[in-house]
């Protein structure tokens, strides 16, 4: 062999060996930890609504921009393309997706029906206007189109009303004073009922509680107005064969303000108490991903609110339900390259799990379409990663919520457990925030039940993520749904389900098929991944009579 041939051979050997060495280092860098979790299957600590997952449709016009970036084109209740077939399919995939129509500009919208006391004109940008806008008009032709779309897709609708109508703004203040004028709302409700449109609930105002966002109303005045609204609703709906609920206040939680509202309005007025969450801060925060992957931040930034509002409702409004009426993680449209990427599912699913443990019946995601935190791409309507996370929750996680205890487990493994939806057993949500640790999870119930610690074969992460074990006897197997980022890139807009990319093909949503694993094999959750685990044979007496799956 000549010198040149020898050098080429050595070069090729190094070329092959270096990646193998690097890969070996990467494999060794990952740790494996055993995590034992205990599910109190004999008793639930809470119950969600059948349609816990909710998404919002806002009012902002297309020329609204945030952080020098315009992100709201044709995504509002007024401009959204309702003829898009993929938009309809994404809603129909939930069977009955709850939609909340509302957002910051809703308290400016005039309904073009009856004889409005103010001109009904389209939104226009205005420096001195509320949220930089003036005008805002809902024409009845558009209201008809929206309701036909809701009926076609099976959506359950909550509509946000203009709660500033008739009030006056105090000079040099965000406070609005005077009685609310219900005439325009009455005209809209009457039109809606005469047309046979079914609105599940009407929400009074947006973010007017406490210090307000842009505008505020004192709690005593607000209570007086919701009493009036309830009276109107009872009068108008008495001739129908269904009732519509009153939802309020649709704002950020303030203990004194919420308490005053519920005390002054009295029993049976407010059916659903809503509050908003943006616990990640501003959408331009460069630390969004760090916050999302920090278990202490996820807990400490919102847990107090969940506990406090649960206590206030139990003491002052035990007849009412609690909803998260709007939550986008980061405010002002969400974080660019974060809120519509895979990494956001760690925050979103953790929020769904935590909120459910504290009496939250419904959780509304800001938004269905529009801005960076949308579930759907605003131009193509193709789902972003959080859409698939929401759809899996909706299909797998039932109403009954269990307490879950970790035994000597890392805080980077965040477990949640519910009754399985429409079948026996339980479903676990396991969120692994660690970038280097694979968790091997063993599940116990309160009587010490434990999944046997044995593994049929050792497989690499690569093979396990792509192999489906077909069961001849479904009772002996569990279902697993593992979500991860394509190419390991947390900023990817593509989720992998059990190693396969989730893409729309020929206008059809992908099937969300599980892996089937022997129920006695260990549950493995890879670093920076999320897993839904369906355990049909877990003895959970609180789930003895599961409701049919929707």
- List pLDDT tens digits, range 221-255: 999 999 999 999 999 999 999 999 999 999 999 99
Instruction: Judge: domain 47-398, CATH 3.20.20.80.
Output: yes
* Nearest Cα residue to 266 out of 319, 197, 329, 322: 319
Residue 168: both structure tokens together: 């006056």
* Same fold? 31-45+406-447+475-543, 47-398: no
pLDDT reported for residue 43: 94
Question: What pTM did the predictor assign?
Answer: 0.90
pLDDT reported for residue 64: 87
pLDDT reported for residue 546: 58
Q: Are strands 46-47 and 31-39 parallel, antiparallel or unpaired?
A: unpaired
Tell me if 281 sits within 8 A of 290, measured CB to CB: no
Burial class (CB in 10 A: 0-12, 13-18, 19+), 309: buried
Q: What angle do CA 144, 145, 151 make, to 5 degrees?
A: 90
Per-domain residue ranges for the chain?
A: 31-45+406-447+475-543, 47-398
pLDDT reported for residue 69: 80
H helix or E strand, kind and range, residue 226: helix 219-237
Cα-based distances in Å from 252 to 6, 99, 210, 386:
72, 20, 7, 23
pLDDT reported for residue 155: 98
Q: Give yes or no: 218 in active site.
A: no
pLDDT digits (tens, 9 = 90+) for 399-428: 999 999 988 789 999 999 999 999 999 999
pLDDT digits (tens, 9 = 90+) for 310-333: 999 999 999 999 999 999 999 999
pLDDT reported for residue 476: 83
* Nearest Cα residue to 56 out of 342, 299, 390, 294: 390
Q: In terms of CATH, what superfamily is 31-45+406-447+475-543?
A: Golgi alpha-mannosidase II (2.60.40.1180)
pLDDT reported for residue 333: 95
pLDDT reported for residue 545: 65
Q: Considering 26, 203, 207, 438, which one is annotated as catalytic?
A: 207
Q: Considering 326, 479, 480, 519, which one is annotated as catalytic?
A: 326
DSSP 509: P
Other CB atoms within 10 Å distance of the CB of residue 382: 15
- Token pair 């807009």 in the structure block, residue: 493
Q: Give yes or no: 235 in active site.
A: no
pLDDT digits (tens, 9 = 90+) for 453-508: 333 333 333 334 333 333 344 458 999 999 999 999 999 999 999 999 999 999 99
Which ranges of the chain have pLDDT less than 70?
1-29, 447-475, 545-550
Burial class (CB in 10 A: 0-12, 13-18, 19+), 347: buried
Q: How far apart are CA 238 and CA 171, in angstroms?
A: 41
């Amino acid at each position: 062999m000549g010198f040149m041939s020898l050098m080429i051979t050595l070069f090729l050997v190094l070329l092959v060996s270096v990646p193998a060495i690097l890969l070996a280092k990467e494999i060794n860098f990952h740790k494996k930890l055993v995590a034992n979790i205990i599910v109190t299957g004999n008793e639930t600590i809470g119950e969600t609504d059948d349609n816990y997952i909710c998404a919002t449709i806002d009012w902002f016009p297309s020329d609204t921009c945030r952080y020098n970036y315009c992100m709201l084109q044709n995504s509002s209740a007024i401009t959204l393309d309702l003829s898009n077939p993929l938009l309809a399919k994404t809603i129909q995939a939930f069977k009955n997706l709850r939609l909340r129509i509302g957002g910051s500009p809703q308290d400016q919208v005039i309904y073009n029906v009856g004889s409005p006391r103010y001109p009904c004109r389209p939104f226009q940008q205005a420096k001195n206007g509320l949220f930089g806008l003036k005008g805002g008009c809902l024409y009845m032709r558009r209201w008809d189109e929206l309701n036909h779309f809701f009926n076609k897709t099976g959506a359950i609708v909550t509509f946000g009303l203009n709660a500033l109508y008739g009030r006056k703004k105090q000079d040099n203040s965000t406070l609005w004073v005077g009685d609310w004028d219900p005439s325009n709302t009455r005209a809209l409700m009457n039109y809606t009922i005469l047309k046979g449109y079914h609105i599940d609930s009407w929400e009074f105002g947006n973010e007017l509680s406490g210090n307000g966002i842009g505008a505020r109303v004192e709690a005593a005045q607000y209570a007086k107005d919701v009493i009036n609204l309830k009276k109107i609703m009872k009068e108008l709906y008495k001739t129908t064969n269904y009732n519509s609920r009153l939802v309020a206040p649709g704002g950020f939680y303030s203990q004194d303000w919420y308490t005053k509202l519920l005390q002054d309005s009295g029993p049976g007025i407010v059916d659903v108490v809503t509050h908003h969450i943006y616990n990640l801060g501003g959408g331009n925060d460069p630390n969004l991903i760090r916050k999302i992957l920090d278990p202490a931040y996820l807990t400490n930034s919102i847990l107090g609110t969940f506990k406090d509002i649960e206590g206030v409702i139990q003491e002052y409004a035990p007849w009412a339900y609690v909803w998260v009426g709007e939550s986008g993680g980061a405010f002002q449209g969400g974080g660019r390259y974060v809120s519509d990427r895979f990494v956001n599912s760690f925050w979103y699913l953790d929020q769904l799990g935590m909120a459910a443990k504290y009496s939250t019946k419904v959780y509304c995601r800001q938004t269905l379409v529009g801005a960076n935190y949308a579930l759907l791409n605003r131009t193509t309507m193709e789902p972003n990663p959080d859409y698939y996370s929401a759809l899996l929750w909706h299909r797998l996680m039932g109403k009954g919520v269990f307490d879950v205890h970790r035994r000597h487990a890392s805080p980077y493994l965040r477990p949640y457990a519910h009754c399985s939806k429409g079948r026996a057993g339980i479903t676990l949500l396991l969120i692994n925030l660690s970038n280097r640790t694979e968790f091997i999870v063993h599940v116990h119930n309160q009587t010490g039940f434990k999944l046997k610690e044995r593994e049929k074969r050792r497989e690499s992460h690569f093979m396990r993520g792509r192999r489906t074990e077909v069961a001849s006897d479904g009772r002996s197997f569990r279902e697993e749904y593992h979500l991860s980022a394509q190419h390991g890139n947390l900023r990817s807009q593509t989720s992998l389900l059990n190693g396969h990319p989730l893409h729309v093909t020929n206008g059809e949503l992908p099937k969300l098929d599980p892996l089937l694993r022997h129920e006695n094999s260990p549950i493995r959750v890879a670093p920076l991944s999320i897993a839904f685990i369906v355990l049909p044979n877990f003895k959970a007496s609180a789930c003895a009579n599961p409701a049919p799956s929707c």
